[in-house]
Chain A
Amino acid sequence: MNFEELKSRIEEGLRELSAEISGKEPNVININVSRDKIVEVAKKLKALGFDHVKAVTAIDYPNERFEVVYIASSYSNLDLAFFLINLRTDLPYNDPTTPSLIEVWPSAFYQEHEEHDLMGIVFEGHPRMGERLLLPESYEGLPPLRKEFKIKTEGINA
């Protein structure tokens, strides 16, 4: 399967879900959706054969938005395994909640939990929201991956 073919097939599959689809050669397909459609889009993608999530990246654009990127691909169909689907959704800065996709992709379980822990995104429907994963239980304060959380740098002079 080549890139264009897959892109058009995805476009066809997601026609009614008002998803913005753009491609980046040779193997990345970006799908932008709003958060209320994301579960449906994920289900469609799973039906197309993208059966697992490789990574969940949350990106902080201060005072503007959060972006959550699910990088999905396929294990069961090795033709599709070459392609990486980036399912993206933007979240408003003051309300970083999005439905969890663990029902569709259980492989996102720990990834979502980590982004919750370190970036403060709330994945609705995830059973471990509010629990710590990597940070100590007693940690309070800003989620460390936020841009507001500054770390000290020393510079080159002693």
Chain B
Amino acid sequence: MSLEERELEVLIGPQHPASGHMRMIAKIDGDIVVELRPNIGYVHRSVEKLAEAKKFLQIIPLVERPSLADTTANNLAYVMALEKLLGLEAPPRAQYLRTLLAEINRIHSHLYGLGIHGVMIGSSTAYMWCFGDREPFIELAQELTGARLSYSYIIPGGVRRELPSRFTEKVEKALRYMENRMKDYFNLYLNNPVTRARLEGVGVLSKEDAIRLGVAGPNLRASGVPYDVRKVEPYAAYPDIDFDIITEKVGDAFARVMVRVKEIQESIRIIRQVLKKMPEGPILHEKYIKAISPKMREYMKETGEVKFPGIFANLRIPAGEAISRVEGGRGEVIFHIISDGKMSPYRMRMVTPSFRNVILFEHLNRGVRVADIPAIYGSLDYFPPEADR
């Protein structure tokens, strides 16, 4: 029998319980995957083109939409690019609030990824637990911003809300809860011999390949590259915060899971520090505060809710070019904005971590077993809408 006859082409997705909004074209020989090609674009919404027709402030909700589980990273990266062009920096308190939301978001984004991965290898309990435990953090973020996932919290020059009353206390409760729960996660799921058997040694990404393929986020760090934008090019309040970059050596699916688990623990540490060190002061750049009417300034003081100055409706950004990067839950988000001094960007390039990780589908799924496809897919924390943008 010739080789072609041995191979079976299986189309996994876009209508498949574990494919997400994408298709994987797998050629399999018996139980071994010979070749797998990701076919993406099923949820492409052309964010880059739409941005050219929208005004700068209107793009904030737009860039959040592709990665709903990890909106703060996109929001922050976009606003940081604008601030670079505007030549202004948010006041320190706003920077701390940004960091706070980013870390809360990182925790629930990681839980999302771990949960989806859990159900992909068959542990419905891991899935339900992770999604249940996301809820306290979503609730916290909701109290801070007013929305569950699409926060649109970060605006040029600051943030939109002051810390709610007794927030520190509530955060502390959620953090302690998560720390306690982690033990059960280890007992039931992460140390479960079946989980280990499914993940250890599966989809190994060597350090050289990770670098060569330009992989982003926890997937990169799981292969032993200690690259984290929060350390490399610190932004927001990260320069003042003491935290470690989590790395693993092995680079297999289990290492990628463990990086996420440990980053949750690290985020807990960061949040505690942020709340402790939170400076007093305004949460919006004074240039914009001045542009707000005195009556509304009074209102802002009373409620802690930021009013936008009228110029925000038609915000003009000076001509120029800016690149910003942010370490989101799934990895490095990059915005490359080219402005020609008008009300909309001339060109906006948005590179999300999932898009940079697409290449791993091809690379890691060679010579693995059919059952390893979801195990590898899930371990990448890949989110199709984020890749398609």
| Contact present between A and B (CB < 8 A) | yes
Binding site for B on A (CB under 8 A): 24, 27-28, 51-55, 57, 59-60, 69, 71, 75-76, 78, 81-82, 84, 86, 105-111, 114, 118, 132-136, 144-145, 149, 151, 153
Dominant SS among interface residues on chain A: mixed
Kindly identify which residue among A75, A84, A106 contacts B220, using a CB–CB cutoff of 8 Å.
A75
Apart from the given pairs A54-B351, A136-B41, 13 other A-B contacts in the complex at a CB distance below 8 Å: A54-B214, A54-B334, A57-B347, A69-B336, A84-B323, A107-B356, A108-B214, A109-B359, A114-B355, A132-B41, A134-B40, A134-B44, A145-B49
Contact A57/B214 with A75-B220, A76-B225 known, Cβ cut-off 8 Å: no
A52 with B214: CB separation less than 8 A: yes
B48 with A110: CB separation less than 8 A: no
User: Using a Cβ–Cβ cut-off of 8 Å, how many residues does chain B contribute to the interface with A?
Assistant: 37
Find the B residue at minimum CB distance from A156: B313
Contact partners of B49 in chain A: CB under 8 A? 118, 144-145, 149, 151
Cβ contacts B205-220/A at 8 Å (1 or 0 each): 0000011111000001
**18 examples of A-B residue contacts, CB within 8 angstroms:** A24-B321, A52-B211, A54-B214, A54-B325, A54-B332, A54-B356, A55-B334, A71-B323, A71-B334, A75-B225, A75-B227, A76-B225, A78-B226, A81-B232, A109-B359, A132-B41, A144-B46, A144-B49
Kindly identify which residue among A78, A134, A144 contacts B232, using a CB–CB cutoff of 8 Å.
A78
How far apart sit A144 and B347, CA to CA, in the bound complex (Å)? Answer: 13
How far apart sit A76 and B225, CA to CA, in the bound complex (Å)? Answer: 7
- Flag whether B349 is at the interface (Cβ < 8 A): yes
Find the B residue at minimum CB distance from A80: B232
Dominant SS among interface residues on chain B: mixed
A57 with B232: CB separation less than 8 A: no
Name the 9 nearest CB pairs between A and B, nearest first: A107-B214, A52-B214, A134-B41, A57-B349, A55-B351, A134-B44, A75-B211, A81-B232, A59-B347
Q: Chain B's nearest CB lies how many Å from the CB of A5? A: 17
Contact partners of A57 in chain B: CB under 8 A? 336, 338, 347, 349
Name the interface residues of B336-356: CB closer than 8 Å to any CB of A: 336, 338, 346-347, 349, 351, 355-356
B213 with A107: CB separation less than 8 A: yes
Find the A residue at minimum CB distance from B363: A106
